[in-house]
Homo-oligomer: A and B are copies of this chain.
Amino acid sequence: MVGIMKSIFEENNRIACMTRETLSRGGVYAVNVLGSPGAGKTTCLINIINNMKSVKPFVIEGDIETDIDTGLLRSMGVEAYQINTGGACHLDAPMMLAALEKMKPKGPGVLFVENVGNLICPVEFELGERLKMLICSVAEGSDKPYKYPSAFLKADIILLNKCDLKPYVEFDSGFFYEGIKALNNTAPVFEVSGKTGKGFPEVAAWLEEKIRL
């Protein structure tokens, strides 16, 4: 079983590596977007996209079922493609490759790949991204870095969403940041609110800077 899992990871990462290279050559910078169910991943993407000044956005939406989020993005004029995993708890590199063959995003641009809502399994599967964006929310509580360390360890950028709810929930900011610091000293943390729009100009600017490099 361990051997099989090892070869699944190896094959996945080989495909992801090729995808990353193909996308880079075409001027498309992919961002793997991770978070729990209901963290606000799609709302954050909409806010980021609305604040991007110089980069064309594309979105691949990964869900077990439904195309609710893709419909929403398309209604805003965003080029969005739906992957339904039909039960699988994460996207993988072959799914991403198959989507790209149909979607054919034309660079220069940024491709957000919204993974299935899950703080565990998607972390292990590279898709061909240049960076991982982790979205969590104050409503989930401040202990998440301790309970789901891999996600926080591997994130390149962290968004703490639903900050508008801070007055109504018990969120211990000190404990949260201490947990992140113990795992990850490089990823910036942006406090945002998908509802009010707070913090997204800064996130968009950070991403645009990354993409230019």
Of the four ranges (under 10, 10 to 19, 20 to 34, 35 or more), the interface on chain A belongs to 35 or more
CA distance A109 to B117 in the complex (A): 34
Interface residues as binary, A22-37 with B (CB distance below 8 Å gives 1, 0 otherwise): 0000000000000011
A213 interface residue (CB < 8 Å to B): no
Q: A38-B36, A119-B117, A140-B38 are in contact. Are A147 and B64 (CB under 8 A)?
A: yes
A76 interface residue (CB < 8 Å to B): no
Please give the distance in Å from A130's CB to the nearest CB on chain B: 25
CA distance A170 to B66 in the complex (A): 20
Q: How many copies of this chain does one complex carry?
A: 2
Interface residues as binary, A78-93 with B (CB distance below 8 Å gives 1, 0 otherwise): 0000000001010000
A21 interface residue (CB < 8 Å to B): no
Binds B, one of A96-104, A160-168, A204-212: A160-168
Most chain B CB within 10 A, of A36, A63, A68, A120, is at: A120
CA distance A64 to B146 in the complex (A): 9
A184 interface residue (CB < 8 Å to B): no
Query: Given A64-B120, A139-B165, 18 other A-B contacts at CB below 8 A?
Result: A36-B36, A36-B117, A37-B140, A37-B144, A37-B148, A64-B147, A66-B146, A66-B147, A68-B147, A87-B150, A116-B120, A117-B148, A118-B120, A118-B121, A120-B121, A137-B139, A139-B140, A170-B195
- 20 A-B pairs within 8 Å (CB atoms) are namely A36-B38, A37-B119, A37-B140, A38-B136, A38-B137, A38-B140, A40-B141, A66-B143, A66-B147, A68-B147, A87-B150, A89-B89, A116-B120, A117-B148, A121-B121, A139-B162, A139-B165, A165-B168, A168-B168, A170-B195
